[in-house]
Amino acid sequence: MNITESIIYDFEKDARHGIFRYIPTFSKIGDLYRIIKIRDAEVIRDGEEEKFEETKDSEKISFKIGDPDRTITGPHTYRISYVIENGIGSNYASHDEIYWNITGNDWPANIEKATARVITSFDAVHTGSLCFTGYSGEKEQNCTGINGEFDSAVPLTSGEGMTIVEIFPAGTFPKSILSKDPPMSAGQKIGALILKYVGLIYLLLNVLLPGLLILWYQKKKNKKRFGAPSVNFDTPEDLSGKRITPAEAGTIDTARLERDDIVATIFDLAIRRYIRLEEIKTVRKLIPDAKDQKIVKLKDLDEKLNDFEKVLMRRLFVSGDEVKTSSLKKDFYVTFESLEEEMFKDLVKKGYYVKNPKNQRALLAVLGMMALFTGNIILAIVLFWLGKKLIGRTKLGDEVDFRIDGLKLFLKGMDRNYKWQAEKFYTVEQMIPYAVSLGYIEKFMGQMKILKPDYNPTWYSGYLGSFYGSYAGFYSSMSSSVTTSASSSSSGSSGGSSGGGGGGGGGGSW
C-alpha cells in the first residue's frame, strides 16, 4: 500500500527547522495485532527534496524532517510518501477494508482541513466509505466519505484526528498477517526467548557452566608443589638474588597492595637511611599535649630506589624536606592509586603476575552479584570462589611466595632462634619492615624486645626515650594517615472510531 501525505504547515513567524512525523507500526485487531512495515520513505518540501532522519523502535517509525543548519518561517507544503506492508484489513470473512488514521491524533497544532482519497491500481469494487473524527476512541462523524473520497467537515483541534474506513468485497486483497503478540524490540525478543527456555538456561548456568569453570580452574591453576616451607632467616630474594622489598613481599603474599605495605616501605626507607622518623610533642597549657609524628628527608632519589619507592618519596616531600604524618590523611588515597599501579606494573614486568588481580576480582564480583540477583545461586558461588582463587600469580610468583612463606615462619617464631638472632642482629633489624607488611609486627617486636631491650636505632627518635615505647604510636599514626580510598474494527465495519485502525501517530515542529 503506497501512501502519500500532503501537509501544509504554517510556522507563522516562528523560526523552525521543519516538522516531525511519527506513525505507529501496529494496530490492535480484537485480541490480535497487525504489525506493519514502513519502507522507501521520501520527503519533498515546496517541490524540492528535503532532508530527514528516520528512526525506528518496536512501536513506531519517526521522521525528523528539516535541515538542522537552517530555519524557516511561514507556510510550507510537505509531501511525505512511503510504502506500507501488511496494512490492509483482509482477514474478515465478509469483507476487506482499509481502516486508516490519516492524520494521527498527536499533533500539538489544530488541523484546519483533512482530506483523503483511496484509489487502487486495479478495478476494485468499493462497497462502502466511513469516517470518524474526534479524540482517540470517539465515534463522531464530522466528515464525509463517498466512493473512497473523504473530507473533514470541521477543523480538528489539537489531539483530534480523522480515521477512514474504505470497504471492499472479501478476497479483494491478499490476506494480511495477524500476530498474537505486539512487536518487540531486540531486548524484548531476547527476554521472551529467555522466558521460553528458562529451565534449560537455568541448568546451563547452574550445572554446566559452573562445572566447566571449575574444570578450567583445575587445569589452569599452578599444580606445582614445593612441600612444606622451611624457615627463611634472610631477607627474601628473587631467583636472580635481587632483594624483594617489603611492599613487594606483602603484595605477592596477599595479591593486593595494602596500607601496611606503604607503612612497611616507610620503615624500610628509614632503615636504609633515606629518611628519619621522629616523634614530636607540643606542650600546651590547660589541655593535653599535642602528639604527632614527622618524616624527615635525608637523601635525594637515586637509582637504588625502585619506581614505587620514588613515587612514595615524591609524595611525602612534595612541599619540603619534612612532613607530618597527620597531613597525609586528606588526599593520600590519590597517591595510593599511583602506588598500586606502579607496584603491579613492576610485578607483572618481573613475571610474578600476569595482570593486576584487582580488576579481575572486581569483574568476578560483579558477575557473581548479577548471578545471585537473578537466582543463579550455584553460578554465583562459583564466581565468588574464583574471585578468591584467581589472583593472576604466575608459577614464578608462586616460587617467590614460597620463599616469603619461609620468612613468615621466622617472623612468627623468633623465640626459637635467639642465638642466631643475637649474632646477626643487623639482619633482624632489616626484618622490621617485612614484619609490618606480612602482618606480624606485634609478635616480632615483642620477641625483639627480649632479644635487645635497649635498642634505639639512629633512624628513629622519640620523646619517650625508648624505641619500643614509641614505634607503636608511629605505626598507628601512619596506618590511620595512609588513606586508600575516596481499540478494534468490527467484521461488518459498522463500528470504528477516531484514532483506530492503522496509521495515526502525530507530529509537530522543531
Task: Tell whether 178 and 228 lie within a shared domain.
Answer: no
Q: Determine, yes or no, domain membership for 437.
A: yes
Phi, psi dihedrals of residue 375, rounded to the nearest 5°? 85, 5
Q: Determine, yes or no, domain membership for 505.
A: no
Task: Tell whether 57 and 176 lie within a shared domain.
Answer: yes
Task: Tell whether 450 and 321 lie within a shared domain.
Answer: yes
Among the listed residues 364, 396, 366, the one whose alpha carbon sits nearest the alpha carbon of residue 382? 364
Among the listed residues 106, 38, 237, the one whose alpha carbon sits nearest the alpha carbon of residue 504? 106
**Please, which residues have CB within 8 angstroms of residue 298's CB and are 6 or more apart in sequence?**
273, 274, 275, 276
pLDDT attached to residue 423: 58
Q: Which structural domain, as residue segments, surrounds residue 256? A: 223-354+393-480
Q: Determine, yes or no, domain membership for 256.
A: yes
Q: Which of 134, 165, 183 is the last residue of a domain?
A: 183
Task: Tell whether 10 and 58 lie within a shared domain.
Answer: yes
Q: Determine, yes or no, domain membership for 49.
A: yes
pLDDT attached to residue 225: 58
Cα 380 from Cα 354, distance rounded (Å): 25
Task: Tell whether 178 and 238 lie within a shared domain.
Answer: no
Burial grade of 322 (CB within 10 A; 0-12, 13-18, 19 or more): middle
**What is the signed CA dihedral for 18, 152, 41, 16, rounded to 10 degrees?**
0
Amino acid identity of residue 315, one-letter, is R
Q: Determine, yes or no, domain membership for 157.
A: yes
pLDDT attached to residue 245: 93
- DSSP state string for 399-421: HHHHHHHHHHHHHH-GGG-HHHH
Task: Tell whether 254 and 341 lie within a shared domain.
Answer: yes
Task: Tell whether 229 and 175 lie within a shared domain.
Answer: no
Task: Tell whether 123 and 174 lie within a shared domain.
Answer: yes
Amino acid identity of residue 46, one-letter, is D
pLDDT in tens, 118-130: 999 888 999 999 9
Task: Tell whether 337 and 459 lie within a shared domain.
Answer: yes
pLDDT attached to residue 76: 94
Query: Which residues is 22 bridged to in the sheet?
Result: 62, 506
Q: Determine, yes or no, domain membership for 337.
A: yes
pLDDT in tens, 403-448: 888 888 888 776 555 555 555 665 678 888 999 999 888 888 888 8
Cα 187 from Cα 57, distance rounded (Å): 11
Q: Determine, yes or no, domain membership for 21.
A: yes
Among the listed residues 255, 264, 262, 259, the one whose alpha carbon sits nearest the alpha carbon of residue 235? 264
Domain count of the fold of the chain = 2
Q: Which of 183, 212, 235 is the last residue of a domain?
A: 183
Residues of the chain short of pLDDT 50, as ranges, are: 223, 487-491, 494
pLDDT attached to residue 292: 77
pLDDT attached to residue 118: 93
Q: Determine, yes or no, domain membership for 208.
A: no
Task: Tell whether 405 and 312 lie within a shared domain.
Answer: yes
- DSSP state string for 173-215: SPPP-EESS----HHHHHHHHHHHTHHHHHHIIIIIHHHHHHH
